[in-house]
Every structure is written in C-alpha cells, then in structure tokens.
Structure 1
Amino acid sequence: MSKKDIHVVPHKDGWAVKKEGGERASSVHPTQSSALEQAREQGRRDKVEVVTHGRDGKIRDSDSYGSDPNPPKDKVR
C-alpha cells in the first residue's frame, strides 16, 4: 500500500481536507484550524504526514504521524 499524505488546502467554502492524489475533499471546514484538527486525527489513524497549505496554496507546515524513515538527527535536551 502506498503512503497517501493528507493535505489541508484552501476551498471555495473554507478549508478542505484531501488525501494526496484524490480528486474530492474528505471534508470541508469553515476554518483552517478545524480542518487541521480533522486532518491530524486522520493522520494519526492512517500513520501518514499532514501537510498544511496557506491561502496562496504554498506549503506552510507539515507534521508526520507515522514511522519516519529519516528522523531528525538532533537530540532534544
């Protein structure tokens, strides 16, 4: 099974949660924060990355909820 990241993208009715490669939105929300909350739940469940886009469509942030094959090398103190 291939990894399908989840994207939070601008939508004409607010913000949409979409799986990578999908044509339709999984859900549409009035605010980016509510869409992000839904995407995070789905990301944890599916163990994939959640990618957040800004109004301009550019990637603003991403969070991994799966097993990262290349974890950061720096150590948190």
Structure 2
Amino acid sequence: MSRTVYHVTYSNELEKWKVIKENSSRVSSYHDTKSAAIEEAKRLAKKNIPSQVKVHNQDGTISDEWTYGDDPFPPRG
C-alpha cells in the first residue's frame, strides 16, 4: 500500500493557498492563509493513513512535512 501525499502550495493566480493530492489535477481546497491550508491537509492526511503532508513556501521549497502511519517502504536494517 502506497502513501497518500498532500501538498500545500501557493497559487499566485488566485493569491490563495491550496491543498492538492499528489498526482491529482484537482485541487482539494483553497484557503486565505497558509495555516488554514496546513490544518486541512493534516485533516485529510489523518483520514487516509498512511499519508504525508508537504508544505511548500511561496518559492516552491519545502518548509515542513509530517508523516502519518507506518512507512509502507521501511528501510532495511
């Protein structure tokens, strides 16, 4: 079973933060603040364990990430 990854990114066009599931073309939700988008991404991730949330800055770099549940591909030894 693979991990579901949610990204929190900034939309320059809409000037809003968005939550989007990795490999999906559809945005899950839009938010006025980064913190509101992070909370929604965490809520979705906790409902879909194993999962991960990756938070991006406005320049695209990753600032934070959280993992929920066991890693489906744990390293050996």
Q: Look up the SS of the partner of 2:66 in the other structure.
A: strand
Contact 1:4 1:21 in 2 (8 A): no
Identity of aligned residues (%): 38
Structure 1 stretches of at least 4 aligned residues deviating more than 2 Å after TM superposition: 1-4, 68-71
Structure 2: which 5+ residue stretches go unaligned?
A: none
CA RMSD of aligned residues (A): 1.7
More RCO (CA 8 Å, sep 6+): 2
1:9 corresponds to = 9
Q: Conserved in 1, the CA contact under 8 Å of 2:20 and 2:26?
A: yes
* Structure 1 segments unaligned to the other structure (5+ residues): 72-77
Q: When the two structures are superposed, what TM-score results if normalisation uses the length of structure 2?
A: 0.82
Q: Does residue 65 of structure 2 align to residue 66 of structure 1?
A: no
Q: Aligned residues, how many?
A: 71
**Displacement, 1:4?**
2.5
Give me the whole-angstrom Cα distance separating, in 1, the residues matched to 2:31 and 2:15: 7
- Superposed CA deviations along residues 21-60 of structure 1, whole A, max 9, x for unmatched, are 1112100000000000000000111010000000101111
CA distance in 2, matches of 1:4, 1:66: 11
Looking at secondary structure, tell me which structure has more strand per residue: 2
